[in-house]
């Protein structure tokens, strides 16, 4: 794998680590995240899935980038 592609993948990992936790905290504190009983709404559930997928992509990116150095 070209070095530029490996660096791009590592930038994706860095972006994920910096941006998604802040996004999740904002979503979790949103009034739409919980119903009157305090249970998670679909709004929160959908965003949890989105964040989880972003982390899976970041993990795959990290593995691919690191593997390319060997």
Q: pLDDT (tens digit, 9 = 90+) per residue, 13-61?
A: 999 999 999 999 999 999 999 999 999 999 999 999 999 999 999 999 9
Whole-model pTM: value is 0.88
The three-point CA angle 59-60-63 to 5° equals: 85
Asked if residue 11 has pLDDT above 90, the reply is yes
Cα torsion through 12, 16, 17, 19, rounded to 10:
130
Nearest C-alpha neighbor of 20 from the set 66, 58, 61, 60: 58
């Amino acid at each position: 794998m070209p070095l530029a592609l490996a660096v791009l993948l590592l930038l994706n990992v860095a972006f994920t680590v910096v941006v998604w936790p802040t996004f999740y905290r904002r979503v979790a504190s949103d009034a739409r995240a919980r119903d009157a009983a305090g249970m998670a709404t679909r709004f929160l559930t959908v965003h949890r899935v989105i964040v989880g997928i972003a982390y899976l992509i970041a993990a795959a990116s990290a593995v691919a980038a690191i593997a390319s150095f060997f």
